[in-house]
Amino acid sequence: YELEMKDNHKSPRYSYNSHKSQQPRTERSKDTRSLQIAIVGAGISGLSAALTLLDSKLFTPKNIHIYDANNYIGGRMHTTLWLPEYQTSEWCGEFLDSNHDFMMNLTKRFNLSLIDTIDPTDSDGSRGTYYFLKQFYNASEAWRDYQAISDTIQQQLELIGDISYNETNSDATYFDNLSLYDWIEKYIPNGHQSQFGAYIDSAYTQEYGLDTREQSSLNFLFAISPESQPENGPLSIYGPSDQRYRIKDGNYLLPEAISKYLMKQKISINLNYNLTKISINDNKKISLRFQNDETYIYDHVILTLPTTTLKYVDYSEAKFDSLKKRVINELKYGTTTKLNLQFKERFWLKLSSDGVIYTDLPFLNSWEATSGQKGETGILTLFTGGTIGTSFEPKKGINTLTTSSCNKNTFLYVEGFLDDLNEIWPNASTYYTGKGTISAPWVDKHFLGSYPAYTLGQYSTISGYEKERQMNIHFSGDYTSPDLQGFMEGAASEGDRAANEIIADYS
């Protein structure tokens, strides 16, 4: 078949500069209007930073330059439009939490609407499907099992206290270096042989994209604290994160709207600019060299690249301190893989399900990507990570499921997932239309990972230092926000923070 989809970024409604960057002036002036500022990365973090700089009215818009190695704006906010149904799904960043105020304010500013994905009739979590150790499980059982260990979790959190690269104690360091896998074995009755233990392992493997043997147990403990839970259940598996909202008609609409606004104000957005070297010159100005051999000089630079790609930039002359280098080289990213599969109808609704599955079967987690959207067809997202996520490798990080774009292993992977879905929902695969998309950002050379996840010992050695500036080189992205790693809110709010560092220098 020929998949009828449109990648909304391949044919932009307005033009970007590509390999035609305006050469910035090099003289520094006390007048902020002459300052030259570069932002590397045109994802939501870089766009948010540019918007904050523009709003300050301190800087000349034409002296603010955004660069991105990709050929589209938005980074991991990247939507697919499915035709002829006019439904949307997300390649990467998908959900906003109820408390993601910064992103909420951006959507309001640019007149975008939100879809509420929470079913108001499912207050007890009964419409979700839980399947572990070849048996069904339910929300009330999960709440019961959590209650049995909630006091232990609270006691451990009190011992841990605050922790970061410059603040820890012996208990905090112990739990930081204890893997989540071993925590489950030690503190959950019957460990991984219990359905609750299997649930925790599965949920956090797909949430962070790394096997629990690699993850610090603090990833789990900080998220699932008793104070983050409703008084009478059901269990909120990721604590305060309710992953409730999407942007109507596609999350890409927000970076598209921001970039269009920025360009109207004469801020340049330069695509296909891959940063290869960053240096601090003798006069403390910053030199950026790109793969096309163009070099530009700036007074301030905001780097929004993930550390997975930043480590391949030559920063030997950027005067980064040893801890910054450690952050860049050691911060791990997950290997989550997302399958969006289209079905002829939303058959799961007939099963009194909202499409959400938690399981220890290889696909780990599913949800309906088309909740709140019109149309008879429905799209299920199958979301996995860790070793399972890397068990196949598509030809590129983002592509549609067609014979020409995927290898044989990818199709075997999809067939295996459909078989697993049949184990939970018999005959589910008979509704599959054959259309789908697959995104594995850990394969894409511009990302090389999905989102950051602290591994053993990293809370007490690097956490909190990700955002620390190095002279006039500033850092932003979801990875610089320890509390909001992996969220669009983290990326956007950190872009704002980095921009405000520059503003504060001249206010």
Q: What is the pLDDT of residues 454-482, one digit of tens each?
A: 999 999 999 999 999 999 999 999 999 98
CB of 241 within 8 A of CB of 97?
A: yes
CB of 465 within 8 A of CB of 475?
A: no
> Over 229-241, what HEC string results?
CCCCCCCCCCCCC
CB atoms within 10 A of CB 120: 6
Q: Whole-model pTM? A: 0.92
Same domain, 217 and 166: yes
Give the pair of three-digit tokens for residue 357: 């599955």
Number of domains in the chain: 2
Binding residues for FAD: 45
CATH number for position 507: 3.50.50.60
Q: Give, in degrees to the nearest 5, the angle at Cα 91 between 88 and 93.
A: 100
**What amino acid is encoded at 402 in this protein?**
T
For 30-63, letters b (16+ CB in 10 Å) and e give: eebeebbbbbbbbbbbbbbbbbbbbeeebbbbeb
Residue 395 half-sphere exposure toward CB, CA atoms < 13 A: 12
Same domain, 326 and 469: yes
* pLDDT of the residue at 482: 85
In a domain, 2, yes or no: no
In a domain, 372, yes or no: no
Same domain, 103 and 60: yes
* pLDDT of the residue at 11: 30
Same domain, 164 and 214: yes
Beta bridge partners of 89: 80
Beta bridge partners of 125: none
Task: In whole angstroms, give the CA distance from residue 73 to residue 67.
Answer: 10
Query: Strand, coil or helix: what is 187?
Result: helix
Closest C-alpha among 145, 6, 134, 175 to residue 81: 6
Beta bridge partners of 400: 437
What is the span of the domain harbouring residue 99?
33-113+248-331+464-507
CB of 305 within 8 A of CB of 479?
A: no
Share of the chain above pLDDT 90, in %: 80
Domain closes at, from 195, 228, 261: 228
In a domain, 222, yes or no: yes
In a domain, 343, yes or no: no
Q: What is the DSSP letter of 344?
A: S
Beta bridge partners of 342: 379
**326 against 121, higher pLDDT:** 326
Reported as a single tens digit per residue, the pLDDT across 355-375 is 999 999 999 999 999 999 999
CB atoms within 10 A of CB 112: 17
Reported as a single tens digit per residue, the pLDDT across 194-239 is 999 999 999 999 999 999 999 999 999 999 999 999 999 999 999 9
- Confidence band for 388, pLDDT divided at 50, 70 and 90: confident
Task: In whole angstroms, give the CA distance from residue 298 to residue 59.
Answer: 13
Reported as a single tens digit per residue, the pLDDT across 122-148 is 666 678 999 999 999 999 999 999 999
Q: Look up tokens 């700036």; give the residue.
A: 298
Same domain, 88 and 162: no
* pLDDT of the residue at 85: 87
Residue 254 has pLDDT above 70, yes or no: yes
Binding residues: 45
Residue 16 has pLDDT above 70, yes or no: no
Domain closes at, from 185, 200, 228: 228
Out of 201-205, 273-277, 396-400, which region has the weakest mean confidence (pLDDT)?
396-400
Same domain, 77 and 135: no
Task: In whole angstroms, give the CA distance from residue 278 to residue 288.
Answer: 5
CATH number for position 138: 1.10.405
Task: In whole angstroms, give the CA distance from residue 305 to residue 42.
Answer: 9
Task: In whole angstroms, give the CA distance from residue 45 to residue 352.
Answer: 39
Q: Look up tokens 């609704």; give the residue.
A: 349
Reported as a single tens digit per residue, the pLDDT across 285-318 is 999 999 999 999 999 999 999 999 999 999 999 9
Same domain, 95 and 177: no
Task: In whole angstroms, give the CA distance from residue 234 to residue 51.
Answer: 39
* pLDDT of the residue at 31: 79
Query: Strand, coil or helix: what is 491?
Result: helix
Residue 70 has pLDDT above 90, yes or no: yes
Give the pair of three-digit tokens for residue 172: 């905090």
Same domain, 202 and 285: no
Q: What is the DSSP letter of 441?
A: T
Same domain, 144 and 218: yes
Same domain, 473 and 502: yes
CA distances from 157 to 112, 113, 238, 248, 484 (A): 39, 38, 16, 38, 19
- Confidence band for 30, pLDDT divided at 50, 70 and 90: low
* pLDDT of the residue at 21: 40
Task: In whole angstroms, give the CA distance from residue 83 to residue 89.
Answer: 12
Share of the chain above pLDDT 70, in %: 90
Task: In whole angstroms, give the CA distance from residue 165 to residue 467.
Answer: 12
**What amino acid is encoded at 427 in this protein?**
N
**398 against 63, higher pLDDT:** 63
Query: Strand, coil or helix: what is 135?
Result: strand
* pLDDT of the residue at 14: 34
In a domain, 401, yes or no: no
Chain mean pLDDT for the chain: 91
Same domain, 178 and 325: no
CB of 331 within 8 A of CB of 453?
A: no
- Confidence band for 394, pLDDT divided at 50, 70 and 90: low
In a domain, 203, yes or no: yes
Same domain, 160 and 197: yes
Strands across the sheet with 275-280, in order?
295-298, 286-290, 275-280, 314-317
Question: To the nearest 5 percent, what fractions of the chain are helix, strand and coil?
Answer: 35, 20, 45
* pLDDT of the residue at 413: 79
* pLDDT of the residue at 397: 66
Domain closes at, from 200, 228, 256: 228
